[in-house]
Structure 1
Protein backbone atom coordinates (compact mmCIF):
# COMPACT_ATOMS: atom_id res chain seq x y z
CA UNK A 1 0.00 0.00 0.00
CA UNK A 2 1.50 3.33 -1.10
CA UNK A 3 1.18 6.18 1.36
CA UNK A 4 1.96 9.89 1.34
CA UNK A 5 5.29 10.90 2.89
CA UNK A 6 5.13 10.76 6.67
CA UNK A 7 7.54 13.66 7.26
CA UNK A 8 7.90 17.12 5.78
CA UNK A 9 11.32 17.95 4.32
CA UNK A 10 13.82 19.96 6.35
CA UNK A 11 14.91 23.36 5.09
CA UNK A 12 18.26 22.32 3.66
CA UNK A 13 21.26 20.02 3.80
CA UNK A 14 24.76 21.19 4.64
CA UNK A 15 27.59 20.71 2.15
CA UNK A 16 28.95 17.88 4.29
CA UNK A 17 25.55 16.19 4.36
CA UNK A 18 25.23 16.50 0.59
CA UNK A 19 28.58 14.77 0.23
CA UNK A 20 27.68 12.05 2.74
CA UNK A 21 24.29 11.25 1.22
CA UNK A 22 25.23 11.78 -2.43
CA UNK A 23 24.33 8.22 -3.46
CA UNK A 24 20.81 8.83 -2.19
CA UNK A 25 20.60 12.18 -3.90
CA UNK A 26 21.46 10.57 -7.24
CA UNK A 27 18.34 8.37 -7.05
CA UNK A 28 15.53 10.32 -8.76
CA UNK A 29 12.86 8.92 -6.44
CA UNK A 30 14.79 10.03 -3.34
CA UNK A 31 16.68 13.12 -4.40
CA UNK A 32 17.22 16.18 -2.28
CA UNK A 33 13.65 16.29 -1.00
CA UNK A 34 13.65 12.66 0.14
CA UNK A 35 16.91 13.16 2.01
CA UNK A 36 15.50 16.28 3.65
CA UNK A 37 12.54 14.24 4.84
CA UNK A 38 14.91 11.72 6.39
CA UNK A 39 16.84 14.50 8.08
CA UNK A 40 13.64 15.92 9.54
CA UNK A 41 12.32 12.57 10.78
CA UNK A 42 12.13 11.26 14.32
CA UNK A 43 12.17 7.47 14.67
CA UNK A 44 11.91 5.51 17.91
CA UNK A 45 13.55 2.08 17.88
CA UNK A 46 12.35 -0.18 20.67
CA UNK A 47 15.06 -2.70 21.46
CA UNK A 48 18.77 -2.47 20.60
CA UNK A 49 19.15 -6.21 20.19
CA UNK A 50 19.16 -8.56 17.22
CA UNK A 51 16.67 -6.61 15.08
CA UNK A 52 17.35 -3.19 16.57
CA UNK A 53 21.06 -3.44 15.70
CA UNK A 54 20.76 -3.41 11.88
CA UNK A 55 17.75 -1.09 12.02
CA UNK A 56 19.64 1.51 14.05
CA UNK A 57 22.80 1.26 11.96
CA UNK A 58 21.05 1.55 8.61
CA UNK A 59 18.66 4.31 9.66
CA UNK A 60 21.62 6.23 11.07
CA UNK A 61 23.59 5.69 7.86
CA UNK A 62 20.55 6.78 5.82
CA UNK A 63 20.44 10.11 7.64
CA UNK A 64 17.41 9.88 9.93
CA UNK A 65 17.67 13.10 11.92
CA UNK A 66 16.66 11.83 15.36
CA UNK A 67 16.84 8.25 16.59
CA UNK A 68 15.27 7.36 19.90
CA UNK A 69 16.43 4.18 21.64
CA UNK A 70 14.69 2.25 24.40
CA UNK A 71 16.47 -0.77 25.86
CA UNK A 72 17.09 -1.54 29.51
CA UNK A 73 19.15 -4.67 28.94
CA UNK A 74 22.88 -5.18 29.45
CA UNK A 75 25.25 -6.40 26.71
CA UNK A 76 26.11 -10.07 27.25
CA UNK A 77 28.68 -12.12 25.37
CA UNK A 78 25.92 -14.34 23.96
CA UNK A 79 24.44 -11.23 22.27
CA UNK A 80 27.46 -10.69 20.04
CA UNK A 81 26.56 -13.58 17.71
CA UNK A 82 23.79 -11.40 16.21
CA UNK A 83 23.61 -7.96 17.87
CA UNK A 84 26.18 -6.32 15.64
CA UNK A 85 25.81 -2.81 17.02
CA UNK A 86 27.72 -3.97 20.14
CA UNK A 87 31.31 -5.17 20.48
CA UNK A 88 33.48 -7.10 22.90
CA UNK A 89 34.37 -3.98 24.86
CA UNK A 90 30.66 -3.25 25.38
CA UNK A 91 30.00 -6.37 27.48
CA UNK A 92 28.44 -5.26 30.76
CA UNK A 93 27.28 -1.89 29.40
CA UNK A 94 23.69 -0.82 28.83
CA UNK A 95 22.72 -1.71 25.28
CA UNK A 96 21.17 1.72 24.78
CA UNK A 97 24.45 3.51 25.55
CA UNK A 98 26.50 1.07 23.51
CA UNK A 99 24.12 1.56 20.57
CA UNK A 100 24.30 5.35 20.93
CA UNK A 101 28.10 5.28 20.70
CA UNK A 102 27.96 3.10 17.57
CA UNK A 103 25.42 5.40 15.91
CA UNK A 104 27.45 8.50 16.75
CA UNK A 105 30.60 6.87 15.35
CA UNK A 106 28.77 5.96 12.14
CA UNK A 107 27.02 9.28 11.60
CA UNK A 108 27.70 12.32 13.81
CA UNK A 109 24.83 14.21 12.14
CA UNK A 110 22.22 11.97 13.80
CA UNK A 111 20.83 13.07 17.15
CA UNK A 112 20.38 10.08 19.48
CA UNK A 113 17.83 10.36 22.26
CA UNK A 114 18.00 7.73 25.01
CA UNK A 115 15.02 6.88 27.16
CA UNK A 116 16.46 5.64 30.42
CA UNK A 117 13.26 3.99 31.52
CA UNK A 118 11.45 0.77 30.82
CA UNK A 119 8.58 1.03 28.34
CA UNK A 120 5.46 0.56 30.46
CA UNK A 121 1.74 1.16 30.14
CA UNK A 122 2.26 4.30 32.26
CA UNK A 123 4.70 5.99 29.84
CA UNK A 124 4.32 4.31 26.44
CA UNK A 125 1.85 6.72 24.84
CA UNK A 126 3.77 9.79 26.04
CA UNK A 127 7.10 8.50 24.70
CA UNK A 128 5.72 7.24 21.40
CA UNK A 129 3.83 10.50 20.79
CA UNK A 130 7.15 12.33 20.45
CA UNK A 131 8.12 10.46 17.27
CA UNK A 132 6.93 10.22 13.68
CA UNK A 133 7.47 6.49 13.38
CA UNK A 134 8.08 3.55 15.70
CA UNK A 135 10.16 0.45 14.92
CA UNK A 136 9.48 -2.51 17.20
CA UNK A 137 12.33 -5.00 17.44
CA UNK A 138 11.35 -6.56 20.77
CA UNK A 139 11.26 -10.30 21.39
CA UNK A 140 8.31 -10.82 23.72
CA UNK A 141 4.57 -10.70 23.19
CA UNK A 142 3.69 -8.49 26.14
CA UNK A 143 5.83 -5.62 24.81
CA UNK A 144 4.56 -6.14 21.26
CA UNK A 145 0.95 -5.73 22.33
CA UNK A 146 1.90 -2.74 24.48
CA UNK A 147 3.65 -1.06 21.54
CA UNK A 148 0.74 -1.82 19.24
CA UNK A 149 -1.91 -0.43 21.54
CA UNK A 150 0.13 2.65 22.41
CA UNK A 151 0.70 3.36 18.71
CA UNK A 152 -3.05 3.08 18.08
CA UNK A 153 -3.79 5.54 20.89
CA UNK A 154 -1.01 7.91 19.75
CA UNK A 155 -2.10 7.50 16.08
CA UNK A 156 1.40 6.50 15.01
CA UNK A 157 2.50 3.98 12.37
CA UNK A 158 5.01 1.33 13.30
CA UNK A 159 7.20 -1.27 11.67
CA UNK A 160 7.28 -4.68 13.31
CA UNK A 161 9.51 -7.70 12.93
CA UNK A 162 10.22 -10.99 14.68
CA UNK A 163 12.71 -13.83 14.32
CA UNK A 164 13.06 -17.40 15.55
CA UNK A 165 15.65 -19.97 14.53
CA UNK A 166 15.61 -19.80 10.68
CA UNK A 167 12.42 -17.82 10.07
CA UNK A 168 11.52 -14.16 10.29
CA UNK A 169 8.43 -12.02 9.81
CA UNK A 170 7.88 -8.33 9.18
CA UNK A 171 4.99 -5.97 8.55
CA UNK A 172 3.73 -2.41 8.95
CA UNK A 173 0.80 -1.49 11.19
CA UNK A 174 -1.08 1.79 11.21
CA UNK A 175 -4.58 1.81 12.63
CA UNK A 176 -5.09 5.45 11.68
CA UNK A 177 -3.63 5.29 8.17
CA UNK A 178 -4.92 8.00 5.82
CA UNK A 179 -7.82 6.78 3.72
CA UNK A 180 -9.09 4.37 6.38
CA UNK A 181 -8.85 0.61 6.48
CA UNK A 182 -5.80 0.69 8.73
CA UNK A 183 -4.56 -2.38 10.54
CA UNK A 184 -2.91 -3.14 13.86
CA UNK A 185 -1.02 -6.09 15.31
CA UNK A 186 -4.19 -7.55 16.78
CA UNK A 187 -5.53 -8.10 13.25
CA UNK A 188 -2.60 -10.48 12.70
CA UNK A 189 -2.51 -11.98 16.19
CA UNK A 190 -5.80 -11.27 18.02
CA UNK A 191 -4.66 -13.26 21.04
CA UNK A 192 -1.17 -14.09 22.31
CA UNK A 193 -0.14 -17.74 22.19
CA UNK A 194 0.15 -19.69 25.44
CA UNK A 195 3.44 -18.83 27.12
CA UNK A 196 4.68 -22.41 26.81
CA UNK A 197 4.11 -22.27 23.03
CA UNK A 198 6.14 -19.09 22.54
CA UNK A 199 9.78 -19.78 23.42
CA UNK A 200 12.17 -16.86 23.16
CA UNK A 201 15.37 -16.84 21.14
CA UNK A 202 17.20 -17.38 24.44
CA UNK A 203 15.39 -20.71 24.74
CA UNK A 204 15.02 -21.80 21.11
CA UNK A 205 17.96 -20.08 19.42
CA UNK A 206 18.22 -17.95 16.30
CA UNK A 207 20.51 -17.89 13.28
CA UNK A 208 22.45 -14.67 13.84
CA UNK A 209 22.44 -13.44 10.25
CA UNK A 210 18.64 -13.74 10.14
CA UNK A 211 18.61 -10.49 12.12
CA UNK A 212 20.26 -8.73 9.17
CA UNK A 213 17.67 -10.03 6.71
CA UNK A 214 14.62 -9.02 8.73
CA UNK A 215 16.23 -5.89 10.14
CA UNK A 216 16.99 -4.70 6.60
CA UNK A 217 13.33 -5.14 5.66
CA UNK A 218 12.27 -3.16 8.71
CA UNK A 219 14.72 -0.32 8.00
CA UNK A 220 13.62 -0.25 4.36
CA UNK A 221 9.97 0.03 5.36
CA UNK A 222 10.81 2.86 7.74
CA UNK A 223 12.58 4.80 4.98
CA UNK A 224 9.67 4.20 2.58
CA UNK A 225 7.16 5.48 5.12
CA UNK A 226 9.22 8.60 5.86
CA UNK A 227 9.76 9.48 2.20
CA UNK A 228 6.54 8.14 0.65
CA UNK A 229 8.40 5.76 -1.67
CA UNK A 230 6.93 2.57 -3.09
CA UNK A 231 4.36 0.20 -1.61
CA UNK A 232 4.73 -0.52 2.08
CA UNK A 233 4.01 -3.76 3.94
CA UNK A 234 0.85 -2.26 5.42
CA UNK A 235 -1.72 -5.01 4.88
CA UNK A 236 0.89 -7.67 4.11
CA UNK A 237 2.98 -10.03 6.20
CA UNK A 238 6.45 -10.82 4.84
CA UNK A 239 7.66 -14.28 5.86
CA UNK A 240 11.28 -15.23 5.21
CA UNK A 241 12.65 -18.78 5.46
CA UNK A 242 16.44 -18.73 5.46
CA UNK A 243 16.79 -22.48 4.93
CA UNK A 244 14.64 -22.52 1.80
CA UNK A 245 15.70 -18.97 0.83
CA UNK A 246 12.06 -18.08 0.17
CA UNK A 247 9.92 -15.03 0.81
CA UNK A 248 6.15 -15.24 1.10
CA UNK A 249 3.77 -12.31 1.30
CA UNK A 250 0.49 -13.02 3.05
CA UNK A 251 -2.43 -10.54 2.99
CA UNK A 252 -3.56 -9.29 6.39
CA UNK A 253 -7.25 -8.47 6.81
CA UNK A 254 -9.05 -6.67 9.59
CA UNK A 255 -10.09 -9.12 12.28
CA UNK A 256 -13.80 -9.99 11.95
CA UNK A 257 -14.42 -9.23 15.62
CA UNK A 258 -12.49 -6.24 16.85
CA UNK A 259 -12.41 -4.79 20.34
CA UNK A 260 -11.64 -1.07 20.16
CA UNK A 261 -8.39 -0.09 21.85
CA UNK A 262 -9.34 2.64 24.29
CA UNK A 263 -6.58 2.30 26.87
CA UNK A 264 -3.58 0.26 27.96
CA UNK A 265 -3.84 -2.86 30.11
CA UNK A 266 -1.64 -5.24 32.11
CA UNK A 267 0.16 -6.90 29.20
CA UNK A 268 2.05 -9.48 31.23
CA UNK A 269 -1.24 -10.77 32.55
CA UNK A 270 -2.80 -10.59 29.07
CA UNK A 271 0.04 -12.73 27.68
CA UNK A 272 -0.16 -15.30 30.47
CA UNK A 273 3.07 -14.25 32.15
CA UNK A 274 1.29 -13.81 35.45
CA UNK A 275 -0.53 -16.67 37.09
CA UNK A 276 -3.77 -15.86 38.82
CA UNK A 277 -3.41 -16.32 42.57
CA UNK A 278 -6.30 -18.48 43.74
CA UNK A 279 -4.81 -19.90 46.93
CA UNK A 280 -1.50 -20.35 48.73
CA UNK A 281 -0.63 -23.34 46.54
CA UNK A 282 -0.01 -21.07 43.58
CA UNK A 283 3.08 -19.59 45.25
CA UNK A 284 6.10 -20.96 43.41
CA UNK A 285 8.49 -22.74 45.78
CA UNK A 286 12.02 -21.96 44.64
CA UNK A 287 15.48 -22.86 45.80
CA UNK A 288 18.57 -20.75 45.23
CA UNK A 289 21.70 -22.11 43.59
CA UNK A 290 23.66 -21.75 46.84
CA UNK A 291 20.96 -23.55 48.82
CA UNK A 292 20.96 -26.39 46.29
CA UNK A 293 24.76 -26.60 46.50
CA UNK A 294 24.66 -26.91 50.31
CA UNK A 295 21.97 -29.58 50.16
CA UNK A 296 23.92 -31.67 47.67
CA UNK A 297 27.11 -31.34 49.72
CA UNK A 298 25.28 -32.38 52.89
CA UNK A 299 23.93 -35.51 51.20
CA UNK A 300 20.28 -34.47 51.14
CA UNK A 301 18.27 -37.01 49.16
CA UNK A 302 16.93 -35.15 46.13
CA UNK A 303 16.44 -35.54 42.40
CA UNK A 304 17.74 -32.75 40.17
CA UNK A 305 15.91 -32.73 36.85
CA UNK A 306 16.91 -30.60 33.86
CA UNK A 307 13.85 -29.81 31.70
CA UNK A 308 15.66 -27.96 28.90
CA UNK A 309 15.99 -29.19 25.32
CA UNK A 310 18.71 -31.63 24.27
CA UNK A 311 20.62 -28.89 22.41
CA UNK A 312 20.90 -26.88 25.62
CA UNK A 313 21.85 -29.97 27.63
CA UNK A 314 24.66 -30.70 25.19
CA UNK A 315 26.03 -27.18 25.62
CA UNK A 316 26.21 -27.31 29.41
CA UNK A 317 24.61 -29.20 32.28
CA UNK A 318 24.99 -29.65 36.01
CA UNK A 319 26.85 -32.81 36.97
CA UNK A 320 24.51 -35.38 38.47
CA UNK A 321 21.34 -33.92 36.96
CA UNK A 322 18.86 -36.06 35.03
CA UNK A 323 17.70 -34.79 31.66
CA UNK A 324 13.97 -34.98 30.93
CA UNK A 325 12.81 -32.27 28.47
CA UNK A 326 9.76 -30.23 29.40
CA UNK A 327 7.55 -31.70 26.67
CA UNK A 328 8.22 -35.21 27.99
CA UNK A 329 8.15 -34.73 31.74
CA UNK A 330 4.75 -33.01 31.62
CA UNK A 331 3.11 -36.20 30.32
CA UNK A 332 1.23 -38.43 32.77
CA UNK A 333 3.17 -41.50 31.61
CA UNK A 334 6.51 -39.99 32.66
CA UNK A 335 5.23 -38.44 35.88
CA UNK A 336 3.75 -41.76 36.95
CA UNK A 337 7.30 -43.12 37.25
CA UNK A 338 8.14 -40.76 40.15
CA UNK A 339 7.24 -40.97 43.81
CA UNK A 340 4.99 -38.00 44.55
CA UNK A 341 6.57 -37.45 47.98
CA UNK A 342 10.21 -37.41 46.79
CA UNK A 343 12.14 -34.14 46.96
CA UNK A 344 12.55 -32.97 43.37
CA UNK A 345 14.36 -29.86 42.11
CA UNK A 346 13.57 -28.77 38.57
CA UNK A 347 15.66 -26.40 36.52
CA UNK A 348 15.87 -24.90 33.03
CA UNK A 349 17.92 -22.00 31.69
CA UNK A 350 16.41 -19.13 33.69
CA UNK A 351 13.58 -20.64 35.70
CA UNK A 352 10.54 -20.09 33.49
CA UNK A 353 10.05 -23.56 32.00
CA UNK A 354 10.82 -25.31 35.26
CA UNK A 355 8.02 -23.35 36.96
CA UNK A 356 5.58 -24.49 34.26
CA UNK A 357 6.57 -28.09 34.93
CA UNK A 358 6.27 -27.52 38.67
CA UNK A 359 2.66 -26.32 38.32
CA UNK A 360 1.80 -29.36 36.21
CA UNK A 361 3.39 -31.70 38.75
CA UNK A 362 1.37 -30.08 41.53
CA UNK A 363 -1.80 -30.78 39.57
CA UNK A 364 -0.73 -34.42 39.48
CA UNK A 365 -0.33 -34.54 43.26
CA UNK A 366 3.41 -33.92 43.75
CA UNK A 367 3.96 -32.21 47.10
CA UNK A 368 7.72 -31.67 47.42
CA UNK A 369 8.92 -29.99 44.21
CA UNK A 370 10.98 -26.83 43.90
CA UNK A 371 12.28 -24.78 40.98
CA UNK A 372 15.89 -23.61 40.80
CA UNK A 373 15.62 -19.83 41.01
CA UNK A 374 17.35 -18.31 37.99
CA UNK A 375 17.95 -21.72 36.40
CA UNK A 376 21.33 -23.04 35.33
CA UNK A 377 22.52 -19.48 34.67
CA UNK A 378 22.22 -18.80 38.41
CA UNK A 379 24.12 -22.03 39.15
CA UNK A 380 26.93 -20.94 36.82
CA UNK A 381 27.00 -17.43 38.29
CA UNK A 382 26.87 -18.41 41.97
CA UNK A 383 28.33 -21.92 42.16
CA UNK A 384 30.42 -23.06 39.20
CA UNK A 385 31.83 -20.31 37.01
CA UNK A 386 33.94 -22.83 35.09
CA UNK A 387 30.81 -23.83 33.14
CA UNK A 388 30.03 -21.94 29.90
CA UNK A 389 27.13 -19.49 29.80
CA UNK A 390 24.86 -19.40 26.76
Structure 2
Protein backbone atom coordinates (compact mmCIF):
# COMPACT_ATOMS: atom_id res chain seq x y z
CA UNK A 1 0.00 0.00 0.00
CA UNK A 2 1.03 3.59 -0.47
CA UNK A 3 2.46 6.05 2.06
CA UNK A 4 0.38 7.39 4.96
CA UNK A 5 2.69 10.36 5.57
CA UNK A 6 1.23 13.89 5.79
CA UNK A 7 0.96 16.03 2.69
CA UNK A 8 4.12 17.95 1.90
CA UNK A 9 4.04 21.69 1.15
CA UNK A 10 4.38 20.88 -2.56
CA UNK A 11 1.46 18.46 -2.37
CA UNK A 12 -0.63 21.00 -0.49
CA UNK A 13 -0.15 23.47 -3.34
CA UNK A 14 -0.61 20.79 -6.01
CA UNK A 15 -3.93 19.54 -4.60
CA UNK A 16 -5.24 22.95 -3.49
CA UNK A 17 -8.48 22.61 -5.46
CA UNK A 18 -9.18 19.28 -3.77
CA UNK A 19 -8.33 20.58 -0.32
CA UNK A 20 -10.90 23.39 -0.51
CA UNK A 21 -13.56 21.10 -2.01
CA UNK A 22 -16.40 20.69 0.47
CA UNK A 23 -17.07 17.02 1.13
CA UNK A 24 -13.57 16.01 0.02
CA UNK A 25 -10.86 18.19 1.56
CA UNK A 26 -7.76 17.02 3.35
CA UNK A 27 -9.34 13.77 4.53
CA UNK A 28 -10.17 12.73 0.97
CA UNK A 29 -6.74 13.72 -0.30
CA UNK A 30 -5.01 11.75 2.43
CA UNK A 31 -7.07 8.68 1.52
CA UNK A 32 -5.91 9.02 -2.08
CA UNK A 33 -2.30 9.39 -1.01
CA UNK A 34 -2.57 6.25 1.12
CA UNK A 35 -4.15 4.20 -1.67
CA UNK A 36 -2.92 1.88 -4.39
CA UNK A 37 -4.78 1.38 -7.67
CA UNK A 38 -4.08 -1.38 -10.18
CA UNK A 39 -4.76 -0.42 -13.81
CA UNK A 40 -5.03 -3.45 -16.09
CA UNK A 41 -4.30 -2.17 -19.59
CA UNK A 42 -2.55 1.10 -20.46
CA UNK A 43 -4.50 1.61 -23.68
CA UNK A 44 -7.54 3.63 -24.66
CA UNK A 45 -9.30 3.35 -21.30
CA UNK A 46 -6.21 3.03 -19.15
CA UNK A 47 -4.65 6.19 -20.60
CA UNK A 48 -7.17 8.75 -19.29
CA UNK A 49 -7.63 6.75 -16.09
CA UNK A 50 -3.89 6.77 -15.40
CA UNK A 51 -3.66 10.48 -16.21
CA UNK A 52 -6.43 11.51 -13.83
CA UNK A 53 -5.48 9.12 -11.03
CA UNK A 54 -1.89 10.35 -11.14
CA UNK A 55 -3.00 13.99 -11.26
CA UNK A 56 -5.42 13.42 -8.37
CA UNK A 57 -2.63 12.14 -6.13
CA UNK A 58 -3.24 8.41 -5.79
CA UNK A 59 -0.22 7.29 -3.78
CA UNK A 60 0.68 4.28 -5.90
CA UNK A 61 -0.28 3.22 -9.40
CA UNK A 62 0.41 -0.34 -10.46
CA UNK A 63 0.12 -0.72 -14.24
CA UNK A 64 0.10 -4.02 -16.12
CA UNK A 65 0.14 -4.34 -19.92
CA UNK A 66 2.17 -6.69 -22.17
CA UNK A 67 1.93 -4.54 -25.32
CA UNK A 68 4.12 -1.95 -26.99
CA UNK A 69 2.99 1.43 -28.28
CA UNK A 70 2.02 1.46 -31.96
CA UNK A 71 1.19 4.38 -34.23
CA UNK A 72 -2.49 3.36 -34.47
CA UNK A 73 -2.79 3.69 -30.67
CA UNK A 74 -2.10 7.41 -30.65
CA UNK A 75 -5.51 8.49 -31.97
CA UNK A 76 -7.00 7.66 -28.55
CA UNK A 77 -4.29 6.52 -26.10
CA UNK A 78 -3.36 10.03 -25.08
CA UNK A 79 -0.61 9.36 -22.54
CA UNK A 80 1.58 7.84 -25.26
CA UNK A 81 3.50 9.91 -27.81
CA UNK A 82 4.94 9.46 -31.28
CA UNK A 83 8.37 9.17 -29.71
CA UNK A 84 7.16 6.28 -27.56
CA UNK A 85 6.20 4.08 -30.52
CA UNK A 86 7.96 0.74 -30.11
CA UNK A 87 8.43 1.06 -26.34
CA UNK A 88 6.36 -0.85 -23.82
CA UNK A 89 3.09 0.75 -22.86
CA UNK A 90 3.89 0.49 -19.16
CA UNK A 91 7.20 2.28 -19.67
CA UNK A 92 5.48 5.04 -21.63
CA UNK A 93 2.64 5.26 -19.10
CA UNK A 94 5.08 5.39 -16.22
CA UNK A 95 7.06 8.20 -17.85
CA UNK A 96 3.86 10.20 -18.35
CA UNK A 97 2.64 9.67 -14.78
CA UNK A 98 6.04 10.56 -13.28
CA UNK A 99 6.29 13.73 -15.35
CA UNK A 100 2.78 14.74 -14.32
CA UNK A 101 3.13 13.96 -10.63
CA UNK A 102 6.43 12.84 -9.09
CA UNK A 103 4.66 12.10 -5.78
CA UNK A 104 3.00 9.01 -7.27
CA UNK A 105 4.87 5.73 -6.75
CA UNK A 106 4.78 3.35 -9.72
CA UNK A 107 4.98 -0.41 -10.08
CA UNK A 108 5.12 -1.33 -13.77
CA UNK A 109 4.54 -4.81 -15.19
CA UNK A 110 5.23 -5.35 -18.90
CA UNK A 111 3.37 -8.66 -18.91
CA UNK A 112 -0.13 -10.02 -19.30
CA UNK A 113 -2.22 -10.59 -16.22
CA UNK A 114 -2.88 -14.31 -15.90
CA UNK A 115 -3.86 -17.04 -13.45
CA UNK A 116 -0.35 -17.15 -11.98
CA UNK A 117 0.06 -13.45 -11.19
CA UNK A 118 -3.49 -12.11 -10.89
CA UNK A 119 -3.90 -12.56 -7.15
CA UNK A 120 -0.46 -11.09 -6.42
CA UNK A 121 -1.10 -8.04 -8.59
CA UNK A 122 -4.66 -7.47 -7.39
CA UNK A 123 -3.91 -8.27 -3.76
CA UNK A 124 -1.33 -5.48 -3.57
CA UNK A 125 -3.88 -2.73 -4.31
CA UNK A 126 -7.15 -1.29 -3.01
CA UNK A 127 -9.09 -0.87 -6.26
CA UNK A 128 -8.72 -2.49 -9.69
CA UNK A 129 -9.49 -0.85 -13.06
CA UNK A 130 -9.96 -3.17 -16.02
CA UNK A 131 -9.83 -1.72 -19.52
CA UNK A 132 -8.95 -4.93 -21.38
CA UNK A 133 -10.78 -6.05 -24.49
CA UNK A 134 -11.43 -9.78 -24.07
CA UNK A 135 -13.71 -11.77 -21.80
CA UNK A 136 -11.06 -14.32 -20.82
CA UNK A 137 -8.98 -11.62 -19.16
CA UNK A 138 -12.00 -9.79 -17.79
CA UNK A 139 -13.34 -12.93 -16.13
CA UNK A 140 -9.92 -13.77 -14.71
CA UNK A 141 -9.56 -10.27 -13.22
CA UNK A 142 -13.13 -10.25 -11.91
CA UNK A 143 -12.77 -13.67 -10.28
CA UNK A 144 -9.53 -12.71 -8.55
CA UNK A 145 -10.93 -9.35 -7.42
CA UNK A 146 -13.99 -11.10 -5.99
CA UNK A 147 -11.90 -13.66 -4.10
CA UNK A 148 -9.73 -10.90 -2.66
CA UNK A 149 -12.72 -8.62 -1.97
CA UNK A 150 -11.36 -5.78 -4.07
CA UNK A 151 -13.75 -3.46 -5.95
CA UNK A 152 -13.39 -3.66 -9.73
CA UNK A 153 -14.10 -0.74 -12.05
CA UNK A 154 -14.83 -2.07 -15.53
CA UNK A 155 -15.11 -0.10 -18.77
CA UNK A 156 -15.66 -0.92 -22.43
CA UNK A 157 -15.93 1.11 -25.65
CA UNK A 158 -16.73 0.59 -29.33
CA UNK A 159 -17.43 2.88 -32.25
CA UNK A 160 -19.43 5.83 -30.82
CA UNK A 161 -20.37 4.43 -27.41
CA UNK A 162 -19.00 3.13 -24.14
CA UNK A 163 -20.01 1.80 -20.76
CA UNK A 164 -18.71 1.66 -17.21
CA UNK A 165 -19.73 -0.19 -14.03
CA UNK A 166 -18.35 -1.34 -10.69
CA UNK A 167 -18.28 -4.97 -9.56
CA UNK A 168 -18.13 -5.35 -5.78
CA UNK A 169 -19.87 -8.54 -4.59
CA UNK A 170 -18.26 -8.12 -1.15
CA UNK A 171 -20.18 -4.85 -0.82
CA UNK A 172 -23.46 -6.52 -1.77
CA UNK A 173 -23.31 -5.89 -5.52
CA UNK A 174 -23.88 -8.45 -8.28
CA UNK A 175 -21.11 -10.66 -9.62
CA UNK A 176 -19.40 -10.19 -12.98
CA UNK A 177 -21.50 -13.03 -14.42
CA UNK A 178 -24.66 -10.99 -13.85
CA UNK A 179 -23.57 -8.74 -16.72
CA UNK A 180 -21.40 -11.18 -18.67
CA UNK A 181 -22.85 -14.70 -18.19
CA UNK A 182 -20.70 -17.77 -18.68
CA UNK A 183 -22.16 -18.45 -22.14
CA UNK A 184 -21.13 -15.00 -23.40
CA UNK A 185 -18.08 -14.88 -25.65
CA UNK A 186 -15.93 -12.12 -27.10
CA UNK A 187 -18.56 -11.37 -29.73
CA UNK A 188 -20.52 -9.84 -26.85
CA UNK A 189 -17.75 -7.31 -26.24
CA UNK A 190 -17.11 -4.32 -28.46
CA UNK A 191 -13.93 -4.60 -30.51
CA UNK A 192 -12.09 -1.42 -31.39
CA UNK A 193 -9.86 -3.21 -33.90
CA UNK A 194 -12.79 -4.66 -35.83
CA UNK A 195 -15.37 -1.90 -35.43
CA UNK A 196 -13.30 1.22 -34.84
CA UNK A 197 -13.58 3.74 -32.04
CA UNK A 198 -13.90 7.53 -31.97
CA UNK A 199 -11.00 8.64 -29.81
CA UNK A 200 -12.76 10.95 -27.34
CA UNK A 201 -15.18 8.16 -26.35
CA UNK A 202 -12.30 6.41 -24.61
CA UNK A 203 -11.54 9.66 -22.81
CA UNK A 204 -15.09 9.92 -21.51
CA UNK A 205 -15.25 6.32 -20.26
CA UNK A 206 -11.67 6.20 -18.95
CA UNK A 207 -12.21 9.41 -17.00
CA UNK A 208 -15.43 8.01 -15.54
CA UNK A 209 -13.46 4.95 -14.47
CA UNK A 210 -10.97 7.17 -12.65
CA UNK A 211 -13.87 9.00 -10.99
CA UNK A 212 -15.38 5.71 -9.77
CA UNK A 213 -12.02 4.66 -8.35
CA UNK A 214 -11.67 7.96 -6.49
CA UNK A 215 -15.20 7.57 -5.08
CA UNK A 216 -14.43 4.04 -3.89
CA UNK A 217 -11.17 5.12 -2.27
CA UNK A 218 -12.55 8.18 -0.50
CA UNK A 219 -16.13 7.17 0.25
CA UNK A 220 -17.46 10.19 -1.64
CA UNK A 221 -20.73 9.62 -3.49
CA UNK A 222 -22.42 6.43 -4.67
CA UNK A 223 -20.35 4.11 -6.88
CA UNK A 224 -21.82 2.38 -9.94
CA UNK A 225 -22.31 -0.92 -8.12
CA UNK A 226 -25.02 -2.93 -9.88
CA UNK A 227 -25.52 -0.09 -12.38
CA UNK A 228 -24.24 0.06 -15.94
CA UNK A 229 -23.73 3.61 -17.19
CA UNK A 230 -23.93 3.75 -21.00
CA UNK A 231 -22.71 6.70 -23.08
CA UNK A 232 -23.90 7.40 -26.64
CA UNK A 233 -21.56 9.99 -28.15
CA UNK A 234 -23.61 10.64 -31.29
CA UNK A 235 -26.74 11.59 -29.37
CA UNK A 236 -24.83 13.04 -26.40
CA UNK A 237 -26.84 10.89 -24.00
CA UNK A 238 -26.13 8.88 -20.88
CA UNK A 239 -28.45 6.07 -19.82
CA UNK A 240 -28.35 3.69 -16.88
CA UNK A 241 -29.22 0.01 -16.74
CA UNK A 242 -29.55 -2.00 -13.55
CA UNK A 243 -28.41 -5.62 -13.50
TM-score range, shorter chain: over 0.9
In 2, Cα distance between the equivalents of 1:61 and 1:135? 16
Equivalent in the alignment of 2:64: 70
Give the number of the structure with larger relative contact order, counting CA–CA contacts within 8 Å between residues 6 or more apart. Answer: 2
In 1, Cα distance between the equivalents of 2:219 and 2:202? 25
Instruction: Call closer, same or farther: CA 1:199–1:217 in 2, change over 3 Å.
Output: closer
Q: Which runs of 4+ in 1 moved over 6 A?
A: none
Please report the TM-score for the alignment, with normalisation by the length of structure 2.
Answer: 0.96
Equivalent in the alignment of 1:208: 199
Q: Partner of 1:53: helix, strand, or coil?
A: helix
Instruction: Call closer, same or farther: CA 1:232–1:111 in 2, change over 3 Å.
Output: same
Instruction: Call closer, same or farther: CA 1:225–1:8 in 2, change over 3 Å.
Output: farther
Equivalent in the alignment of 2:29: 35
In 1, Cα distance between the equivalents of 2:76 and 2:166? 23
Equivalent in the alignment of 1:235: 226
Instruction: Call closer, same or farther: CA 1:38–1:196 in 2, change over 3 Å.
Output: closer
**In angstroms, what is the RMSD of aligned CA positions?**
1.6
Larger Rg: 1
In 1, Cα distance between the equivalents of 2:185 and 2:226? 25
Equivalent in the alignment of 1:255: none
Match of 1:55 among 49, 52, 62: 49
Equivalent in the alignment of 2:235: 244
Shift of 1:198: 4.6
Deviation digits for residues 271-303 of structure 1 (CA, Å, limit 9, x no counterpart): xxxxxxxxxxxxxxxxxxxxxxxxxxxxxxxxx
In structure 2, runs of 5+ residues without a counterpart are: none
Moved more, 133-142 or 7-16: 7-16
In 2, Cα distance between the equivalents of 1:99 and 1:23? 25
Whether the 8 Å contact between 1:9 and 1:34 is mirrored in structure 2 is no
Match of 1:81 among 75, 86, 90: 75
- Give 1:114-263 correspondences, 5 Å limit: 114-177=108-171, 181-196=172-187, 198=189, 200-252=191-243
In structure 1, runs of 5+ residues without a counterpart are: 1-6, 253-390
For this pair of structures, how many residues does the alignment match?
243
